[in-house]
A = this chain, B = another copy of it.
Amino acid sequence: MKKTALIMAGGRGERFWPKSRQNLPKQFLSLTDDGKTMIQLTVERILPLVKMEDIFIVTNRNYKPLVQLQLPELPEENILCEPVGKNTAPCIGLGAVHMAKKYGDAIMLTLPSDHLVKYNSIFLNTLNQACDVANQGNNLVTLGITPDAPETGYGYIKFDLDRPLGSAYAVERFVEKPDLATAKSYLASEQYLWNSGMFVWKLSTILHNLEEYLPDIYSGLCRIAESIGKTNEADVLDKEFISFKAESIDYGVMEKAKNIYILPGSFGWDDVGSWLAVGRIKKSNEFGNVIDGNVVAVDTENCIIQGADKLIATVGLEDMIIVDTNDALLVCEKQRAGEIKKVLENLRICNRTEYL
């Protein structure tokens, strides 16, 4: 069956503030040494498997120019615009109805636009295996990541080693982010994988599951599908999308659906969840510092320093994150990287939207 891909690119990337901003979120930033942006890398990564013309991007309406700028070879009609973000279920549904209109049925790789993969050939093999499993019956396939630490920031998926299908295993259940003790017990049990948020299914399968588990969203999607190519298309999209309940595909579908399979992936996955990821991704110097820009570092170790033109001088720092931009500077302890959101909350409360 034909392979297509939907890339979800509507996120705001707040954990990468101040570089990631409302008008230039994380997926449009370059966070790697190669200078390519996250969404460019995501597309490039799957091109051996899916033709450019069969790749669709769902993003916020405001980001369409960014997608066009960064992916000039992508057909314009493949950029699907959400009027507002409603989490992943409506996003995936919007992609699915557009793709179903074009292809009837097809395999639909469903991928975030802001993750990294180190071993691309293994990733492609895994995706191929997932396509095989998705092709059989009405299976929903998710790529799971073998945990290397009891992370509390990821969802986990319990699989059944005794029910294999191809290279995959039947999923017993999806679980939300656990506390540390629970995460440790998951690792010890060897029965849990991280939820990567990457899925493979047939268009017909995901649409059927949306109909089953999110009927309100599904009927709205049908009205959107009906309007495609008609004069009222934009109005219908606006009206339906705004009325959708914000719902994640994990909670809305995957936690309830049957026939879910998971493929344990070992392709050097990184969800690039915070500035800490830059410390993993980019080359560090002999003092463990990852430095970009114009920096004089005195007795400074294990820091992430992302500067611009301005000279940044550091003295006696350890485990710090410094990110400078034209109008905003962040100085944050590494352990507190997850709390950058508090800065944004503060800015929202004070209505200082120019910094968001």
Contacts and interface: CB of A to CB of B under 8 A. Distances in A.
Interface of A: 17-18, 296, 298-299, 307, 310-317, 320, 322, 324, 326-333, 335-337, 339-340, 342-343, 346-347, 352, 355
A335 B318 CA distance: 13
Contacts of A347: 296
19 contacts: A296-B347, A298-B343, A299-B339, A310-B328, A311-B327, A312-B328, A312-B329, A313-B329, A313-B332, A313-B340, A314-B330, A314-B331, A315-B339, A315-B342, A316-B332, A316-B333, A316-B339, A317-B333, A329-B329
Contact of A343 (B313, B333, B346): B313
B342 A331 contact: no
A339 B317 CA distance: 12
Contacts of A312: 328-329, 331
Main SS class of interface, A: mixed
A274 to B, nearest CB: 11
A314 B298 CA distance: 20
B343 A316 contact: no
A141 to B, nearest CB: 38
Task: List the 9 closest pairs (A to B, CB-CB), nearest first.
Answer: A316-B336, A316-B333, A315-B332, A311-B328, A313-B343, A298-B342, A315-B336, A312-B329, A314-B331
